[in-house]
């Protein structure tokens, strides 16, 4: 069972969408499988996600149905790998590792409750976070079976947040908050080890990615009635300041494995751990308001203030499947995936707790050196209790999100040269 007879099925195992709807802000899954392909190799792909995330506000928050707050989104990936000598390889990988895209409309009860005393344009609660990674990887293969690799990761992050009503917290205390975080860039690193036995199509790899520290220039503006109350001056409620937001994207570990199990058939598995438990975002002005709220007893659950976003648990996800070469030009795969989520209750800005998914992929290879692959996955999103940031660390919630799902679609092209 030589490697070349299974190459089509093995490439198919890496169809995009691995982490298309994972816990917290995880998005791409940060695979390095393209770097571990034999010889010189190029690929480009795109994944599209169409989620439905609806819920109900609890009676204590006014009750009522919450419309779909999960916005559609897409993200591209690309990779270029060279094997200049038998023992050395170099690769460049591009992806969008983390992100968020969500909107509560102005008519939803969690938003409509928070009109406050001052008018600002736009009454919906929205969050959009985008990151980009460019990884430069160098590999050393002392023997055919072993690949030791590492490199630098250049990362950018930017975001926009608009918070209103109970989705944010107490309407009278917090009012309206907006933040625009300019794109910031920083550098981290990765390292890993891979082992393969081509004769049985076995390949295993373990990859660690470091934390990456950012300091994003941020404009924070809005209205907080608590500021006016403390200052005993209505004009103090309005603010518009330039600040800095510290963001540390999390460390992670990926374990990938595949092996031939019969002629023209491979089994594959991916395990991923992401350290979301140590992740948080607290813009400067937001933090000052949160501390003021705690000092005057408005947020008894967090008397010392609270973060804009934080999580209680680390994420663990797994995907297993089988890929089979159907003919010289066609191959297919099926997979099942699971994600633990990053804690429950969860933030109102991302009200799902993990998922189960099932996937189907197909690949067409007009010639041995290039292919076109596509896939679809159906996600059964985990039920979650949703809470604003001011309730973080408790079992309290203001809404329930149940029986939600998502569809993901992926397309990839690959070329050996």
Report phi then psi at 236, rounded to 5: -70, -10
Question: Quick check: helix, strand or coil at residue 117?
Answer: coil
Q: Where are the beta strands (DSSP E) in 211-293?
A: 212-223, 238-249, 252-262, 265-274, 280-281
Nearest-angstrom CA–CA distance, 388 and 404:
20
Q: Quick check: 67 and 32 in contact, CB under 8 A?
A: no
Q: Give the dihedral sign, CA 308/311/316/321.
A: negative
d(C-alpha 25, C-alpha 16), whole Å: 17
In angstroms, the first-to-last Cα distance of the chain is 23
Q: Which residue intervals of 105-169 are DSSP H helices?
A: 109-112
48 — alpha (psi -120 to 50), left (phi > 0) or beta? Answer: beta
Query: For the stretch 169-182, what's the b/e string if a residue is b when 16 or more beta carbons lie within 10 angstroms of its beta carbon?
Result: bbbebbbbbbbebe
Neighbours of 241 (CB within 10 A): 12
Enter the DSSP assignment of 114.
Answer: T
User: Domain 3-353+368-416 belongs to what topology?
Assistant: Porin (2.40.160)
In the chain, which residues have pLDDT < 70?
1-21, 112-122, 167-174
Q: Which residues, in sequence order, are CB contacts of 341 under 8 Å at separation 6+? A: 23, 313, 315, 352, 353, 354, 355, 382, 384
Q: Which two tokens stand for residue 173?
A: 């205390």
d(CA 349, CA 308): 10
Our measurement of the distance from residue 255's CA atom to the centroid of its chain's CA atoms, rounded to an integer in Å, reads 18
Length of the chain as a residue count: 417
- Three-state DSSP state, 133: strand
The DSSP bridge partners found for residue 7 are none
Q: What are the boundaries of each domain within the chain? A: 3-353+368-416
Burial 289-318 (b: 16+ CB within 10 A, else e): bbbbbbeeebbeebeebbbbbbbebbbbbe
Determine the Cα–Cα distance for residues 392 and 311; give it in Å rounded to an integer. Answer: 8
Q: Residue 300 CA to chain centroid, in angstroms?
A: 31
Helix, strand and coil in the chain, % to nearest 5: 15, 55, 30
Angle at 106 between CA 102 and CA 289, to 5 degrees: 75
- What tokens appear for 351 in the block? 């009200």
Q: How is residue 183 written in tokens?
A: 């794109």
In sequence order, what DSSP letters do the residues of 297-335 get, joined into one string?
A: TS-TT-TT---SEE-SS-EEEEEEEEEEE-SSSEEEEEE
Instruction: Name the nearest CA neighbour of 208 among 146, 246, 251.
Output: 251
Q: Which two tokens stand for residue 3?
A: 């490697």
Say what the pLDDT of residue 171 is: 42
**Continuous segment of H or E residues that includes residue 131:** strand 125-140
So what's the pLDDT on residue 272? 96
């Amino acid at each position: 069972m030589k490697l070349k007879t299974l190459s089509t099925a093995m490439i198919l195992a890496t169809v995009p969408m691995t982490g298309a709807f994972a816990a917290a802000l995880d998005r791409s899954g940060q695979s390095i499988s393209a770097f571990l392909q034999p010889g010189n190799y190029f690929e480009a792909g795109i994944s599209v996600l169409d989620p439905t995330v609806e819920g109900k506000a609890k009676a204590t928050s006014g009750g009522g149905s919450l419309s779909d707050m999960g916005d559609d989104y897409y993200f591209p990936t690309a990779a270029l790998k060279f094997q200049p000598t038998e023992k050395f390889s170099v690769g460049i990988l591009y992806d969008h590792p983390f992100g968020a895209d969500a909107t509560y409309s102005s008519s939803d009860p969690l938003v409509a409750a928070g009109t406050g005393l001052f008018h600002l344009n736009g009454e919906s609660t929205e969050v959009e976070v985008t990151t980009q990674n460019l990884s430069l990887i160098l590999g050393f293969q002392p023997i055919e079976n072993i690949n030791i690799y590492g490199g630098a990761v250049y990362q950018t992050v930017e975001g926009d947040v608009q918070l209103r009503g109970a989705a944010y917290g107490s309407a009278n205390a917090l009012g309206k908050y907006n933040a625009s975080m300019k794109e910031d860039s920083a550098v981290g690193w990765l390292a890993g080890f891979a082992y393969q036995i081509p004769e049985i199509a076995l390949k295993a790899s373990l990859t660690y990615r470091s934390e990456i520290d950012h300091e994003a220039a941020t404009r924070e503006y809005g209205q907080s009635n608590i500021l006016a109350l403390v200052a005993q001056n209505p004009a103090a409620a309005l603010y518009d300041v330039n600040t800095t937001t510290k963001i540390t994207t999390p460390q992670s570990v990926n374990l990938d494995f595949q092996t031939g199990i019969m002629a023209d058939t491979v089994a594959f598995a991916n395990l991923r751990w992401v350290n979301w438990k140590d992740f948080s975002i607290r813009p400067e002005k937001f933090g000052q308001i949160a501390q003021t709220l705690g000092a005057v007893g408005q947020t008894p659950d967090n008397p010392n203030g609270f973060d804009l976003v934080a999580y209680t648990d680390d994420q663990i996800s797994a995907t297993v499947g089988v890929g089979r070469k159907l003919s010289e030009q066609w191959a297919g795969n099926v997979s099942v995936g699971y994600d633990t989520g990053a804690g429950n209750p969860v933030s109102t800005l991302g009200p799902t707790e993990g998922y189960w998914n099932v996937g189907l992929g197909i690949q067409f290879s007009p010639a041995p050196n290039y292919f076109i692959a596509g896939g679809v996955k159906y996600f059964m999103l985990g039920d979650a209790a949703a809470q604003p940031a001011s309730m973080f660390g408790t079992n309290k919630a203001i809404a329930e999100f149940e029986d939600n799902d998502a569809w993901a679609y992926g397309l990839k092209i690959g070329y050996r040269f």
